């Protein structure tokens, strides 16, 4: 493991950019960016267009290691190049730490939750991640209701796969998202915290993980997780909140930093001039950085 990158993620000031929209969410991400579905005629062209979008974001002067600690990539992005370098190497040269989304999407809802679909090629993906100089991984489940057995199952699955990721000397980001529209979100978060703590307390001293969680309903509800010796960092997803709302909620939580996707790129558009694009990017980066670093 790269100890310089580990120290940056653990102790650096800033946030993590999530640029890992996968096949299912790519058409909407492109449409929001001003590239309608009739602008490409097949999946290959779609992924070419989304790589152009990500390249424009990553090469923007506003996409800067002073404020961005790391970036979560989609698997295709890891395998593609930016300015003649593999994406992770390009990011590392910018002093931004690369992560890889490894899950294959969500299973159907059961017991109030959506587990991850099986990841049949996980070992091969992790081997390739090592080859491509990836630092860590990310995988997402979703909790819709405060169902004890459902939440237990989500956390068990996350940590079971995290152990396999740790075997490849990668740092897993465990992401059991609580749906922000859930009627009993706060109760779900309490159950989730307790289940995560059980697993954290069973990790050995050389097993370190990250957590990516919905911004809690009750401010500082995840303080115990943030301070846990086995947790490198706790980052927050925007989860459908607008950037302004997500930033305001984030400011209430000491030690919690952003890992936003839509809230980061919402104002970007393919038709903007470079100056307009970079200004929009800078505005978003500055606001999210401020919310991650300056707390109430």
Residue 104 designated active-site:
no
Give the Cβ contact number of residue 87 at 10 Å: 28
Average pLDDT in the 47-55 region? Answer: 92
Average pLDDT in the 12-29 region? Answer: 85
pLDDT of 101 reads 96
Q: Is 176 strand, coil or helix?
A: strand
Average pLDDT in the 65-81 region? Answer: 94
pLDDT of 75 reads 87
Which one of the listed residues 101, 212, 249, 251 is annotated catalytic?
Answer: 212
pLDDT digits (tens, 9 = 90+) for 111-142: 999 999 999 999 999 999 999 999 999 999 99
Cα–Cα distance for residue pair 135/169, rounded to 1 Å: 8
pLDDT digits (tens, 9 = 90+) for 226-245: 999 999 999 999 988 999 99
Which one of the listed residues 175, 177, 189, 195 is annotated catalytic?
Answer: 175
pLDDT digits (tens, 9 = 90+) for 171-220: 999 999 999 999 999 999 999 999 999 999 999 999 999 999 999 999 99
Average pLDDT in the 59-72 region? Answer: 96
Average pLDDT value over all residues in the chain: 94
Instruction: Give yes or no for residue 41 having a pLDDT over 80.
Output: yes
Residue 175 designated active-site:
yes
Compute φ and ψ for 155, nearest 5 degrees: -70, -40
Cα 268–chain centre separation = 19
Cα–Cα distance for residue pair 272/82, rounded to 1 Å: 20
Q: Residue 254 — very low, low, confident or very high, per pLDDT cuts 50/70/90?
A: very high
Q: Is 118 exposed, middle or buried (0-12, 13-18, 19+ CB in 10 A)?
A: exposed
Q: Residue 23 — very low, low, confident or very high, per pLDDT cuts 50/70/90?
A: low
Average pLDDT in the 150-163 region? Answer: 98
pLDDT digits (tens, 9 = 90+) for 84-103: 999 999 999 999 999 999 99
């Amino acid at each position: 493991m790269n100890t310089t990158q580990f120290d940056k993620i653990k102790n650096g000031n800033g946030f993590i950019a999530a640029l890992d929209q996968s096949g299912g969410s790519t058409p909407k991400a492109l449409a929001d960016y001003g590239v309608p579905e009739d602008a490409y005629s097949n999946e290959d062209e779609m992924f070419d267009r989304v790589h152009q979008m990500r390249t424009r974001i990553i090469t923007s002067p506003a996409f800067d290691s002073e404020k961005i600690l790391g970036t979560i990539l989609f698997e295709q992005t890891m395998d593609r190049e930016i300015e003649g370098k593999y994406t992770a190497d390009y990011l590392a040269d910018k002093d931004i730490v690369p992560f890889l989304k490894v899950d294959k999407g969500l299973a159907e809802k059961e017991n109030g939750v959506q587990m991850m679909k099986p990841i049949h090629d996980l070992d091969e993906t992790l081997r390739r991640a090592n080859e491509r100089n990836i630092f860590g991984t990310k995988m997402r489940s979703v909790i819709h209701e405060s169902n004890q057995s459902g939440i237990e199952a989500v956390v068990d699955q996350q940590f079971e796969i995290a152990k396999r990721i740790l075997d490849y000397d990668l740092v897993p980001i465990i992401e059991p998202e609580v749906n922000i529209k859930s009627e009993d979100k706060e109760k779900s978060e309490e159950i989730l915290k307790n289940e995560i703590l059980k697993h954290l307390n069973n990790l050995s001293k050389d097993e370190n993980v990250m957590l990516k969680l919905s911004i809690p309903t009750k401010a500082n509800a995840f303080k115990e997780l943030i301070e846990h010796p086995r947790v490198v960092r706790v980052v927050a997803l925007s989860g459908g909140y607008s950037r302004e709302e997500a930033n305001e909620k984030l400011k209430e939580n000491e030690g919690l930093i952003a890992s936003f996707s839509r809230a980061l790129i919402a104002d970007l558009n393919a038709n903007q001039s470079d100056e307009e694009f970079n200004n929009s990017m800078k505005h978003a980066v500055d606001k999210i950085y401020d919310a991650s670093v300056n707390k109430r």
